[in-house]
Chain A
Amino acid sequence: DTAVSQTPKYLVTQMGNDKSIKCEQNLGHDTMYWYKQDSKKFLKIMFSYNNKELIINETVPNRFSPKSPDKAHLNLHINSLELGDSAVYFCASSQGRGRWGQYFGPGTRLTVT
């Protein structure tokens, strides 16, 4: 019974396409996050949602749009994909913000060709 799951695990697509990554957590947490990990393994937060409300929106291109239909889901939609979007994207969840440790999903490796 996976705590934080992401689909797909791998995503290969061409420049200009639109794609989505789905994330679900079954931990009952009220805060969810999206992170981007680049080829140098740097982890950078993109978005954070608390009870379906956006509370962190880092300097991410507006081609990236998070959608939280309910507390257990936080999907990431990416329009007009670019080569530089190639990375591993991690979803995470926590009970509350910062005060609590985050549980990470297995990651989605996005490759844009």
Chain B
Amino acid sequence: LAKTTQPISMDSYEGQEVNITCSHNNIATNDYITWYQQFPSQGPRFIIQGYKTKVTNEVASLFIPADRKSSTLSLPRVSLSDTAVYYCLVGGGNAGNMLTFGGGTRLMVKP
């Protein structure tokens, strides 16, 4: 069972790049790594997903080293509206694989 850990909180300023790392030492061979964003009183929202190396979409990049024991979500040029809690989710590659959320990282973007 992948134990997934993240920093509890991070602060940044508008326009900066933010990198949030998730540690998942026991990741299974077929597990995927997915990141979600959650605003207060809302459900988590999908940001990006990857299996290995680097994935980029219009809002973020995801870096996964070769051993896959960690992953880093990179948010370029954050704005105030990026203030939220960010969760990594590991698992699900096979039917019945556990899905384990990290504890979440509370990102505060300051003006």
Q: Is B truly associated with A?
A: yes
Number of contacting residues on A, CB 8 A? 26
Taking CB atoms, residues of chain A closer than 8 Å to B92 are 97-99
**B42 lies within 8 A of A44 (CB):** no
**B87 lies within 8 A of A43 (CB):** yes
**A56 lies within 8 A of B96 (CB):** yes
Is B111 interfacial (CB-CB < 8 Å)? Answer: no
Shortest CB–CB separation between residue A55 and chain B, in angstroms?
5
Q: A3 vs B12: C-alpha distance in the bound complex, in angstroms?
A: 32
What 1/0 flags go to A92-113 for Cβ under 8 Å of B? 1000011111111111000000
**A102 lies within 8 A of B42 (CB):** no
Q: A90 vs B94: C-alpha distance in the bound complex, in angstroms?
A: 22
**A107 lies within 8 A of B91 (CB):** no
Given contacts A97-B92, A98-B92, A98-B93, contact A56 B43 (CB under 8 A): no
Given contacts A41-B104, A42-B104, A43-B87, contact A98 B44 (CB under 8 A): no
What 1/0 flags go to B93-111 for Cβ under 8 Å of A? 1111111110110000000
Is B71 interfacial (CB-CB < 8 Å)? Answer: no
**B101 lies within 8 A of A104 (CB):** no
Given contacts A98-B32, A99-B32, A101-B34, contact A106 B98 (CB under 8 A): no
Instruction: Identify which of B43, B45, B97 contacts A97 (C-beta below 8 A).
Output: B97
What 1/0 flags go to B58-98 for Cβ under 8 Å of A? 00000000000000000000000000010101011111111
Instruction: Identify which of A44, A97, A101, A105 contacts B49 (C-beta below 8 A).
Output: A101
Is A48 interfacial (CB-CB < 8 Å)? Answer: yes
Is A50 interfacial (CB-CB < 8 Å)? Answer: yes
Is B41 interfacial (CB-CB < 8 Å)? Answer: yes
Instruction: Identify which of B30, B42, B98, B104 contacts A56 (C-beta below 8 A).
Output: B98
Chain A residues in the interface with B (C-beta under 8 A): 4, 33, 40-45, 48, 50, 55-56, 58, 90, 92, 97-107
Chain B residues in the interface with A (C-beta under 8 A): 30-32, 34, 36, 41-46, 49, 85, 87, 89, 91-101, 103-104
